[in-house]
Amino acid sequence: MTRAFIFPGQGSQAVGMGLALSESFGAARLVFEEVDEALKQKLSKLIFEGPESDLTLTENAQPALMAVSIAALRVLESEGGWRLADKASYVAGHSLGEYSALAAAGALDLSDAARLLKLRGQAMQKAVPVGEGAMAALLGPDLEQVQKIAKQAADDTKLICGVANDNSPGQVVVSGAKAAVERAIAIAAEQGVKRSVMLPVSAPFHCALMQPAADAMEEALAKAAIRQPAVPVVANVTAQPTSDAATIAKLLVSQVTATVRWRESILTMKSLGVAKTYELGAGKVLAGLVKRIDKEIEASSVGAPADVETALKALS
């Protein structure tokens, strides 16, 4: 069976995530210790104990989620006696999860991934003053309809509004200036969209307003050591697999302002033979999206000791 390991993005964080893994497995503890050392910050204490308000800050949530994902992977590898490339043919991650995927596949060192995500979180937060940007999930319409809604909202307000995430059929997220996003919700309602939800985020991710953050990441990634991954990564920006280090760096820069093409990424992996996905890290958001995108793909999540046991049996 062809498998993919996938890695969650922001919004999946919760105080206490990864704690049971850390208490049960030395391989997980080593990951949290290395991330703490890389950031010169006791991030693990924040992950395990909170407060939630600090963990939710973008600059903390991004490296924290990556740490939990890699902890889950390292536990599977150490307990199973194998490496990722022995069991998975592709990796992919949602937004910041793409960095987790690259660290999992050996394209980035764990410490470098943590530092890059800390910087990415800080740069994204600084790009737009709090309160000026917004994001909203439009539930029901397809990508093409939401693209038209976002364009009309941008034209009406002369402000930025675009598609940030194409998550699954019927779940598309828009991002941009607050007034433009509010206009998009109004247009959606006029067109019969039954539900739109403003998201509790501190900045409008994955839209043109994030260009200052993209510039900061371009500078940082130019100095980063990126290697060929052990298996191809299916990139958010293209929804296609790549193994070229220079291309990976360029796509990570583009990713800051571009649409996360998650629905297409899953369909691409299916077309390449993937029949089972394992979501490694906090929460079960991606497993839920996979099931909505294509019911034929098996999806499971690994974030707690009990999940490890189940996954190891399935992967043996």
Catalytic residue among 69, 94, 168, 206: 206
At residue 91 the predicted structure's pLDDT band, cuts being 50, 70 and 90, is: very high
Domain co-membership, 173 together with 251? no
The CATH number of the domain holding residue 174 is 3.30.70.250
Domain co-membership, 156 together with 252? no
Last residue of a domain, one of 200, 224, 244: 200
- Per-residue pLDDT for 96 more than 90? yes
Burial class (CB in 10 A: 0-12, 13-18, 19+), 225: exposed
Query: Residue 53's pLDDT is what?
Result: 93
Read off the pLDDT of residues 206-252 as tens digits, 9 standing for 90 and up: 999 999 999 999 999 999 999 999 999 999 999 999 999 999 999 99
Domain residue limits at 273? 2-127+209-315
Torsions phi, psi for 231 (to 5 deg)? -135, 155
Domain co-membership, 8 together with 95? yes
Active site residue 168: no
Domain co-membership, 68 together with 113? yes
Whole-model pTM? 0.97
Domain co-membership, 196 together with 294? no
| Segment 106-127 mean pLDDT | 97
Domain co-membership, 84 together with 17? yes
Query: Residue 1's pLDDT is what?
Result: 83
Read off the pLDDT of residues 34-46 as tens digits, 9 standing for 90 and up: 999 999 999 999 9
At residue 299 the predicted structure's pLDDT band, cuts being 50, 70 and 90, is: very high
Number of domains in the chain: 2
At residue 202 the predicted structure's pLDDT band, cuts being 50, 70 and 90, is: confident
Domain co-membership, 215 together with 311? yes
Q: Which two tokens stand for residue 261?
A: 């093409």
Catalytic residue among 95, 168, 175, 196: 95
How far from 226 is each of 105, 189, 296, CA to CA, in Å? 11, 45, 34
Domain co-membership, 115 together with 61? yes
Read off the pLDDT of residues 242-295 as tens digits, 9 standing for 90 and up: 999 999 999 999 999 999 999 999 999 999 999 999 999 999 999 999 999 999
| Segment 20-28 mean pLDDT | 98
Domain co-membership, 226 together with 78? yes
Active site residue 206: yes
The CATH number of the domain holding residue 308 is 3.40.366.10
Domain co-membership, 260 together with 151? no
At residue 200 the predicted structure's pLDDT band, cuts being 50, 70 and 90, is: confident
CB 94 within 8 A of CB 236: yes
299 in helix, strand or coil?
strand
